[in-house]
Amino acid sequence: MPGSASGSEWGTAAEQRFDVNLSILFTELPLLQRPAAAAAAGFTAVELWWPWVDSPVPERTELDALKRAIEDADVQLTGLNFYAGQLPGPDRGALSIPGEESEKFRANVDVAADFAQSLGCTALNALYGNRVDGVTPDEQDALALENLVLAARAASRIGAILLIETLNRPESPHYPLVTASAGIGVVDKVNEATGLGNAKFLMDLYHLSMNGEDLPSVIERHAAKTGHVQIADNPGRGAPGTGTLPLADLLGRLKKAGYEGWVGLEYKPGDRPSTESFAWLPPEARAAR
């Protein structure tokens, strides 16, 4: 199915609120310059992976500097990852890995939640973590649930949702959540364990397409439990129109299914400045509150 769509199609059919992931776009700039760059490109909202890959508990001065950069740019922080190790890189989360990594995750939970609250961010994403040698899947899953319960409670404390994300097997072969049903299963387990109901599915259309899932079917079955959506084209993880995914149509389906949340642009800009990768999206569709 051809994935290209005209600007008018994106301005009418999708009718979604878009934010820019500053951990994959504008990375040609220092972190503190990225919020202003997103604003200059016409966006009013941004999201982030945990920016300090080596530090679940960074210095207060670093947290304050990023907070000021976001506030000075007058953009809204719509989503933030908990600590997840080296991203981009070999790591795919920490919360299910016994020992030092899960301890780092636990140390980060309230730090990330407090930072999100300070900027009015209401979605926190917890990457599950790779399978590791010497520990059974059952042991890792039990640890994951324990830590996800902590994360869900921290998110609830600040009025936020907890997002559970699936990745894709070709790029993350040791990550256990590589289907929509697996992600939804964890969402249900967390909600059952906490009684809070604030765990939601992060529907990343790129990752799901890499897994060969029937995307219209995923949308129909799981839109009601979806708390956030991310997009990139496939193949290549580039901007919409660089691959073959019918992203405008898929977002239209999400809208019809009742999804009203944010759509994160989590794609690679390619060999060009990030600003040049937004031609597919009309300027009037970039600004949303």
Cβ(177)–Cβ(183) below 8 Å: yes
Catalytic residues: 165, 266
> How far apart, in whole angstroms, are the C-alpha atoms of residue 29 and residue 97?
32
192: tokens are 């059952």
Which residue in 249, 276, 245, 247 sits closest to 264, CA to CA? Answer: 247
> How far apart, in whole angstroms, are the C-alpha atoms of residue 167 and residue 137?
17
Euclidean distance between the first and the last CA atom of the chain, given in angstroms as a whole number = 32
Q: Please give the helix or strand (H or E) that residue 161 lies within, else none.
A: strand 161-165
> How far apart, in whole angstroms, are the C-alpha atoms of residue 4 and residue 135?
44
DSSP conformation class of 277: G
Which backbone phi and psi does 262 adopt, to 5 degrees?
-80, 150
CA 277 to chain centroid, in Å, comes to 19
> How far apart, in whole angstroms, are the C-alpha atoms of residue 164 and residue 162?
7
> How far apart, in whole angstroms, are the C-alpha atoms of residue 173 and residue 169?
5
Unique residue bearing structure tokens 């809070």 = 196
> How far apart, in whole angstroms, are the C-alpha atoms of residue 59 and residue 70?
17
Amino acid at 131: R
CA quadruple 105, 110, 116, 118: dihedral, nearest 10: -150
